[in-house]
Amino acid sequence: MAQQNEAKIRGIFHFLVRLSKKPSVRAAGLLQDDLKLPLTNRQKRHSTELPEWLQTIYDEAVRPTQNALDRIWLTIERLNLTAKCPQDILSLIDKGKLSHSTVNQVEPIKINTWNIYVRKARKAL
């Protein structure tokens, strides 16, 4: 049911975006160009707020590294672990507390994907 509601909302949004591109609607100023698609339920579930020290690293990184940092931090939060600096994250990885088998219990992820995330995080941190 939630997926149907989400699909309906996104359908309405796409209709509004198409409508906002019509010259008559633009001239009237009824719909602005800054329409943003609402977050999906999956995106809401995965949204997390990074601590300031990690946000600084995140902002300087390229998108694949940002994905890795997001996923690692989300996993740390869900496992009720703590990390107050980059070295804490690296030590959690080294101690095996962020191994694929542990992370896979939080949310399924392929082992190759997780290994890539760990490699990118190590490089960024």
| 30 and 88, same domain (yes or no) | no
| 66 and 105, same domain (yes or no) | yes
Provide the pLDDT for residue 121: 93
| 94 and 66, same domain (yes or no) | yes
The mean per-residue pLDDT over the stretch 45-72 comes to 87
Which of the 8 DSSP states describes residue 40? P
Residue of higher predicted confidence among 38 and 113: 113
* pLDDT higher than threshold 60 for residue 1: no
The mean per-residue pLDDT over the stretch 17-43 comes to 67
| 17 and 60, same domain (yes or no) | no
Short-list 81, 70, 76, CA closest to 113: 70
